[in-house]
Amino acid sequence: MNLAYDFSWIISVCRGYRCLKDGHNVSVHNSLKGLHFSTDVSNSSGSQGLDKDDMESMKYKLLVDCGPDQECVTGGIVALGKFDALHLGHRELAIQASRAGTPFLLSFVGMAEVLGWEYRAPIVAKCDRKRVLSSWAPLCGDVVPLEFHVEFSKVRQLSPRQFVERLSKDLRVSGVVAGENYRFGYRASGDASELVRLCEEYGLEAHILSSVLDSKRGGGGAAGGSKELVSSTRVRQALAVGDVNYVAELLGRRHRLVLRVPEDFDSAAEGSKLSIPRSCLLNQQPKEGLYESCSLLADDRLIGPCNVVISTSHVHVELEGGPGQLLAKGDYRHVGIDLGG
């Protein structure tokens, strides 16, 4: 089912506005590609400090983590699509949009609940998205894309015209970027050509990009086949069959598996080995089996090369080269494992 509201990138020229990001105030300075961001933790407010009028106003706003003024993306370029995997196609949208402003990721919250979808683990762990977006900065005018969210229930019923109208009047963006297969509006009734027409009507720029294809493989990840669209679905399919090298090709980076370190975890007793329950996984893992030539990280600190076995109950990691020194208990919150590539 092709859903319209799986868009996620907003590119902004956010001149001098104060935007909320992860509960902190983010100051945006200068203009266009020279923008720089600073985080002022001491002035963090989140939803605290809002009066009743502000709280009431928030009920009708699209950006749930931007504050009542909704000025975080004013004047920018909105890149539209589904951005759960942050794959090569998503990166191309961000690059195109960054040429006219500063890239912002606009993700939807509450889609599964509204649509009755069965829960699926995210492809990118929530705590790892900032790292991935930071890696795009050299291609986006040396600006790290920031992330904001829209409550899906607030836009689900909008017609294509109403959707573009809200982008124009509520978020006050200056244009959009989308892929050629993009669908939007209630029941995905609008396509890319209608997006261009409506944007012209509302005085917005519209840039439609050709689909990004994989470089080496065809359907099902088989080598030598015809080129296929890079998509989040293909990433999930490749993970399901354990083809982590193909996953790395689609993502443009190694897939990082992230696990929360349990409170009773103690790596010291294992020396160069550790085992963490699969219940601690924070994103989608590949199929069960052995994965060699991986990299182990504690939070974002590289520990060393390793081999990994994913069993029915645990993720087992062994550092290459024999006994090694793992970090002591309590030194880190997450374990990362880079697979493939």
* Residues 14 and 75: beta-carbon distance below 8 Å: yes
Q: What average pLDDT does this structure show over 43-51?
A: 41
pLDDT at position 126 is 93
pLDDT tens digit sequence for 131-168: 999 999 999 999 888 777 778 888 889 999 999 999 89
- Show contacts of 189-198: CB within 8 Å, 24+ apart: 189/4, 189/159, 189/160, 190/4, 190/159, 190/160, 190/163, 194/160, 195/80, 195/160, 195/164, 198/160, 198/161, 198/164
Question: How many other CB atoms are found less than 10 A from the CB of residue 176?
Answer: 29
Please give the structure tokens belonging to residue 280. Answer: 């601690």
Let me know if residue 318 belongs to a domain: yes
pLDDT at position 267 is 52
- Same domain, yes or no, for 73 and 205? yes
Lowest mean pLDDT among 236-240, 243-247, 261-265: 261-265
Q: Is the pLDDT of residue 283 over 80?
A: yes
Q: What average pLDDT does this structure show over 201-206?
A: 95
* Residues 13 and 76: beta-carbon distance below 8 Å: yes
- Same domain, yes or no, for 198 and 126? yes
- Same domain, yes or no, for 175 and 76? yes
pLDDT at position 271 is 64
- Same domain, yes or no, for 62 and 203? yes
Higher pLDDT, 27 or 186: 186
pLDDT tens digit sequence for 309-336: 999 999 999 988 665 555 555 567 899 9
Let me know if residue 48 belongs to a domain: no
pLDDT at position 62 is 81
> In whole numbers, what is the pLDDT of the chain averaged over residues?
78
pTM comes to 0.78
pLDDT at position 36 is 32
Structural domain of 198: 58-209
Higher pLDDT, 170 or 283: 283
Q: Based on the structure, what is the number of domains in the chain?
A: 2
Question: What residue type is 201 in one-letter code?
Answer: E
pLDDT at position 77 is 83
